[in-house]
Chains A and B, each alone.
Chain A
Amino acid sequence: MTSTYHAGAQGFVSPGHSRGLIDVVRYRYLLRLLVRKGIQTRYHGSVLGWTWSYVKPAAQFFVYFFALGVFLGLNKGVPNFPVYLFSGMVVINLFGEAFTNATRSIVDNGPLVQKIYLPRELFPLAAVFVAFVHFLPQVAVLFIGALVTGWVPSLVAVLAFVLGVIIVTVLSTGLGLLFGAVNTSFRDAQNLVELFLLFATWASPVLYHWQSVSSALPRWAQTVYLLNPLTPAVELMHIAFWSPTLHGQQQPGGPPNLLLFSLIALLTSIVLLIVGQLTFRRLEGRFAQDL
């Protein structure tokens, strides 16, 4: 009797089975609304509102600038250190924001996940988009800073920026899907993410120069350091915003084979995105009952 019907034939579908990220395209209007909701409600009830998006990175910037730049003297070793510092910081902030929000997104949208079926990838993805919108004003400030200190446009700078942002976005989406899925069963995941982010800031050349790494680490360890996808992403941001302000000044050399390592970082991110999506789909069936 019932075996005469099949999913896919005669208009039948199996409820609760989506094609993951591909299905999100069909729901792009909802995705847009979810992103808008995330943006509208983020600073709801606060007087400063979106100004916080400037205040927080600014405070962070001054702490690092004085501690590392002035007290530890990096200001002298690295020309135009403020722009150097801030260009790495904005991209790490994007990563942190996107990764944290995506990890919490499924639990945060618990009531919806438990009651209405949607491709659940929508929630982490919307979280990443919100983080991206949050990132834009910081880039604007960075850009102004770079312009003031003599930034000149170049194709290389633009391409480096785009590639760096793509690496970080893909990476945080993949990790966000992975940890967001695990977080529904084990809330340890979101604490683990915080720990990760602490490492992320220090395990890439944001607060110091590559020279300090290459002079301290043996060759093989330098390679490991460069295999961290965030390292090339941060270096790409330096190429985009910091290098064009130097005008051939004597500058400490960056890491070797940056293009190669950037492509490896992109590949790593794509692999992690696939792993994240597969894990997400495996665990998705349990979301509604585990929350």
Chain B
Amino acid sequence: MTSPATPGDPGGTRLPSIVVSDVTKTFKLRHTHSFKEAFLGFIRHKTLSTTFSALSHVSVEIQEGESVALLGYNGSGKSTLLKLISGVLLPDKGRILTRGRVAGLIEVGAGFHPDLTGRDNVYLNAAILGMSRKEIDARFDDIVEFSEIGEFIDTEVKHYSSGMFLRLAFSVAIHTELDVLLVDEILAVGDAPFRAKCEVRIRELIQQGKTMVVVSHDLPMVSSLCERGVVLRNGQVTFDGRIDEAVAALSEHD
């Protein structure tokens, strides 16, 4: 394992893949979904929303080729941070910059349509993840082979078992052309042999020098995949350093 780069190290010639600088994200939980409620609430001076601070003044810099685990308990803001990096959410304050193609393995299968065949879904989802037609054509066989779907590829996805569905969805995501991979709890997918296969594939990507950000509660897996850990607690970074120390720091809070 290479020694982890110190966060914010400006000395190297390598450019970081992800820069998160002083990011704050507050959620407004609105309790109304219609004009009427909004209007009535306004004249009655009722509070229509409660705010919830998900991240406050978070700064993290991730170097190219690094694999970083975001650790923390539920509600610590790690998934929010991942969504900010992917661009699904925008920060209220601060800045986020990324370099290269970012692909999120954030809840795989989000773009699957039950009424389309496996084949159509592969094309649709690979395109959603930013691939061109040529790239998909080139990888289609690999995707199908990895998913172990076989002849069912031309069957509508609604007839798939949940395992088949997840395998195909994951297979599409993992074959995406990318520079930065964001992974949110997806390794809880499928049975043990398939999980092992996925881990191998992720290790391959790390070896190819892809940047990886992983959110997971599976500490042993994260420890073996990542070199660096960032611990979040109530929306703030409480530790940033080597993964074994990060895992230790996480349990210290108990």
Contact = CB atoms under 8 A, between A and B. Distances in A.
Contacts of A33: 123-124, 127
A15 B102 contact: yes
B128 interface: yes
A113 B10 CA distance: 35
B201 to A, nearest CB: 20
Q: Chain A interface mostly helix, strand, loop or mixed?
A: helix
A30 B127 contact: yes
A13 to B, nearest CB: 6
Contacts, number: 122
B88 A115 contact: yes
B10 A116 contact: no
A12 B21 CA distance: 14
A115 B30 CA distance: 20
A154 interface: no
A218 B38 CA distance: 40
B209 interface: no
Contacts of A113: 88
Interface stretch (A36-44, A143-151, A228-236, A252-260): A36-44
B154 interface: no
A3 B128 contact: no
A93 B86 CA distance: 38
Nearest to B25: A289
Dominant SS among interface residues on chain B: mixed
Contacts of B95: 2, 7, 14
B224 interface: no
B19 A2 contact: yes
Contacts of A41: 113, 115-116
A54 interface: no
Contact of A11 (B59, B85, B99): B99
B31 to A, nearest CB: 12
B15 to A, nearest CB: 6
B97 A5 contact: yes
Interface in A111-141: 111-118
A284 to B, nearest CB: 8
B228 to A, nearest CB: 17
Nearest to A285: B90
A194 interface: no
B129 A2 contact: no
13 contacts: A2-B59, A3-B21, A10-B99, A11-B15, A11-B99, A14-B95, A15-B85, A16-B96, A33-B124, A36-B120, A115-B106, A187-B33, A187-B34
